[in-house]
Amino acid sequence: MKTSITNFSFTRADKEILKQGTWYDAYRKLGAHPGTFRKQSGVFFSVWAPHAKTVSLLTESGGWEKSPVPMRRRQGGVWECFLPGCSVGEKYSFYILGADGVVRKKADPYAFRGELRPGRASVVADLNSYAWQDEQYLSVRRMQDLHASPMAIYEVHLGSWKRDPDPDFAGFLNYRDLAGELAEYVTSLGYTHVELIGICEHPFDGSWGYQCSGFFAPTSRYGSPDDFRFFVDTMHHSGIGVILDWVPGHFPRDEFCLSTFDGTPLYEPDDPLRAELPCWGTYAFDHSKGEVRSFLISSALFWIREFHIDAIRTDAVAAILHNSFGRERWSPNKYGGEENLDGMTFLRQLTNAVHTLTGGAIIAEDSSILPGITDPLPKGGYGFDFKWNLGWMNDTLVFFDKDPIFRRYHHDCLTHTADYAFQERWILVLSHDEVVHCKRTMLEKMPGPPDWRFAELMQLYALQIAFPGKKLLFMGQEFAEKREWDENREIDWVLASEPEHEAVTRCLKALLALYKQYSALYVDDGDADSFEWVNRHDADRNIIAFIRRRSGSYNGALLVLFNFSPVLYADYSCGVPLPGAYRQVFSTCASSGENRTFTAKRASCDGFPYSVKPGLHGFEALFLEFPIKKQRKKP
């Protein structure tokens, strides 16, 4: 049933909340909406262009510029028209005579679908045609405490995870084709979530979706909006959460996009020192404008409401927080500092809206050292649920990059990460950024001969699982891909069945199973009491040891030991706080045996009253379960 046009007409109340920056469902009126007017079916179009002299609607069926449809200016600088006979699937653009006298052909900022590149038009879509089947999943999600749950994320770029196998068409697979296979694969590995790169529509494949032209449109590279809904539905049916990469800090300079939208800097700041981001060749959003905040926050909520996305990963938060980001010359704020005060206000407004109006979560990708990103808003924080731990990624990979004989000089890169492990709610990431542009894959970062490199890679994954924080790994690294990621080809699946590569996958599966089995690894991983050093200073032997536990208790705790050298330390002893039998539950070293137990003796070691003597093989990561306390029977 078509909706009446009166439901889309722009009102005075809409004008006020749009300007205030609090119209959090602006997409329900702005954009293109199928409906009826005077018993005629058609589509209602509206666009915000307050400084435009005239705005016309262009459609493919109308011959584009041959038959422009004039739009009527309404209050608040919104232009509207109703086009009878227009229907879902129609391609359209706005023809805007700007305040500067220049005519520009613009895509709809609120379009629900975009034309497949190199096309630039928007496409009329209906958001009410899909019947969701994931209510059971959503009801469970609403009851879940994400901070106290295991969270292991498989980061994936759909267009290069799998490609069309037809040699005559080396193109993209549809969301529906990808859904079942990816859900089954991710479930078999043991991941709890997928994080999707490049879903918001974008003009250039090489931007990976981080220069976005469609903030309300899933990319047409892989199908329709309903195809993407099917994808998310399938993931939820398999118990897999979906995280969407989203970019509210900047947008591309392409003329059909948001830049100089109505002949003025509308979505970008007036100040050229703030408008441009030279480091990316993009324009920054002007977060001081209420209309821009309404646009962006509506976009974030749109994906959660209309596509059932579980979490929004907010890209380039540092670019929003700092006027100096990526700029040699920058404009200070009113106090003379380089902080972007409007950006700070926007981020707090964003996280508050996500938490109070949806059941979703929000994650920060932030390279700055500004504190409080994951602190609650009442405590002066920014309210994000998690922050990517880029420091851990950088420091850890610096350590692993060194030949074992030199690692003693970089030991602090490894141990220093624990010093800030509880300053925020972290996600430990080994992301796409680290396996492109001559950075080498995770396997190729490891030094030494091939057998060393595979063993060291398994240690890296074991360290990620053992260390406090949620987990993320980019696709292809689970089977130790050798070639750097290229968005134009699929990952090298042929390697996955080769013995050494398959061993890495088995190791990762076992680690993820261990992660979900032992609550000590995830329940209190934001609490400093969940982590305890046993040995952090043994740089000469490249050894560290620590305890992961539930806060305030050793019940179900794990003792984790790493030997980052190829040397066998058969007599290695380690201090422990309790007597009893410590049982091996995992080792990256196949020759270490299984289910071994080590009895703690009363012998002071590492500052503890007891010690165990497990020994350590070269390049071994060893997990030992603490003694299980027997419960006394009640009399």
Nearest to 30 by CA among 97, 92, 112: 112
**Which positions are annotated as active-site residues?**
315, 365
CA dihedral over 79, 84, 87, 90, signed as positive or negative: negative
β-strand pairing of 610-612 with 78-84: unpaired
Residue 527 CA to residue 467 CA, distance in Å, equals: 12
CB count, 10 Å around CB of 281?
Answer: 12
Token pair for 31: 């954009």
Pairing, β 103-106 against β 91-97: antiparallel
Q: Encode 181-190: b = buried (16+ Cβ within 10 Å), e = exposed.
A: ebbebbeebb
Task: Calculate helix-pair angle for 290-307, 12-20, nearest 10 degrees.
Answer: 100
**Partners of 32 in the β-ladder:** 45
Helix (H) or strand (E) holding 235: helix 225-237
HEC-encoded secondary structure of 550-608: CCCCCCCCEEEEEECCCCCECCCCEEECCCEEEEEEEECCHHHCCCCEEEEECCCECCE
Q: What is the C-alpha separation between 324 and 339, in angstroms, rounded?
A: 8
330 touches 271 (CB < 8 A): no
DSSP state letter for 468: S
Give yes or no for a contact between 143 and 105, defined as CB atoms under 8 angstroms apart: no
**C-beta neighbour count of 25 within 10 angstroms:** 16
Q: How far apart are CA 166 and CA 170, in angstroms?
A: 6
Taking the mean position of all CA atoms in its chain, how far away is CA 86? 37
10 Å CB burial of residue 22 (0-12, 13-18, 19+) is middle
Q: What angle do CA 159, 427, 502 make, to 5 degrees?
A: 55
Cα angle 95-97-101, degrees, rounded to a multiple of 5: 150
Listed in sequence order, the DSSP H helices in 358-449 are 390-401, 411-415, 442-445
Helix (H, G, I), strand (E, B) or coil at 161: helix
Task: Express the helix, strand and coil content of the chain in percent, nearest 5 each.
Answer: 35, 25, 45
Structure token pair of residue 137: 């999943």
